[in-house]
Amino acid sequence: MELELVRQRVFEEKPGFPRQYGPDRTDRQPGQPFWPHEVYRDLVLILLMVAILFLLSAAITPPVGPAKDPTIQPFIVPDWYLLFSWGLLKVAEIFPTGVIPDPLGNGLLGPVSVDTGFWGDILTSLPVIPLFLLPLLDRGREERPAKAPLRSALGLYLIAWIFSSSLYAINNLVIEKWPFIGGDDTLKWFFVIPPLYVGIASYVGLRRLGYREMYWWRVIPIGVALWLFSVQALDTFVLQPLDAGRSLGAHAATLALPQIQGLAFIVLMLFAVMVVTFYAVTFLDERRARALLKPFFVVWIVLFLLVGKFIESTQPASFDFILHQTIPSMHLLYGAPIFVLITAYVGLREPYSAYEYLLNECYQCGKCHTACPVTKVEDDALGGLNLVYNTFKKQHDGVPLWTCLACDACSAVCPLDIKYSDYILEERAKALAVGPPSGRAS
Partner 1 sequence: MIDPLYGPARAIPHPVLFRLLDAEADSTAVPEIKVEQASEFAYYPGCIDYYDQEMQFSHLNYGETNHGIIFDSTVKLLKAVGIEPMILDRSFMKCCGHDQLWQGKVDVFQKMREYNTRVIRMLKVKTLIVSCAEGYRTFKLDYQLEGITVKHITQVLYERGLRVPPSKEGKKIRVAYQDPCRSCRQMPVDPIYDEPRDLVQRVDNAELVELKTFRADAQCCGVAQMMYCNDKTKGITDLRMKEAAELDVDYLLTACPKCLTHFGCMHHENAWKPGGERYKFRVLDITHFLAERLDGSEIGKAPTILPAERDPRLKAGGG
Interface positions with partner 1 (CB under 8 A): 1, 5-6, 9-12, 18, 371, 373-374, 376-378, 402-409, 411-413, 421, 425, 427-435
Task: Give the nearest distance from C-beta 287 to partner 1 in angstroms.
Answer: 17
Q: Which is nearer to partner 1, 76 or 432 (CB)?
A: 432
Q: How far is the CB of 383 from partner 1 (least distance, A)?
A: 15
Give whichever of 222 and 414 is closer to partner 1, judged by the CB atom.
414
Shortest reach from residue 366's CB to partner 1, in Å: 16
Distance of closest approach, residue 411 Cβ to partner 1, in angstroms:
7
**Largest interatomic CA distance in the chain:** 93
**Angstrom distance (rounded) from CA 228 to CA 197:** 13
Give the C-alpha separation, 338 to 329, whole Å.
Answer: 14
In our burial notation (b when 16+ CB lie closer than 10 A, e otherwise), range 9-41 reads eebeeeeebebeeeeeeeeeeeeeeeeeeeeee
Shortest Å distance, C-beta 402 to partner 1: 7
Whichever of 268 and 405 has its CB closer to partner 1, that residue is 405
Q: Give the shortest CB-288-to-partner 1 separation in angstroms.
A: 20
Residue whose CB is less far from partner 1, 48 or 433: 433
Q: Which is nearer to partner 1, 186 or 442 (CB)?
A: 442
Dihedral angle at the C-alpha atoms of 421, 422, 427, 430, nearest 10 degrees?
A: 140
Specify the 3-state DSSP secondary structure of 286.
helix
- Per the CB < 8 A criterion, the answer to whether 307 and 322 are in contact is no
Distance, CA of 281 to chain centre: 19
Residue 65 in 3-state DSSP?
Answer: coil
The answer to whether 333 touches 229, Cβ cutoff 8 Å, is yes
What number of helices (H) and strands (E) belong to the chain?
A: 22, 2
Cβ nearer to partner 1, comparing 343 with 375: 375
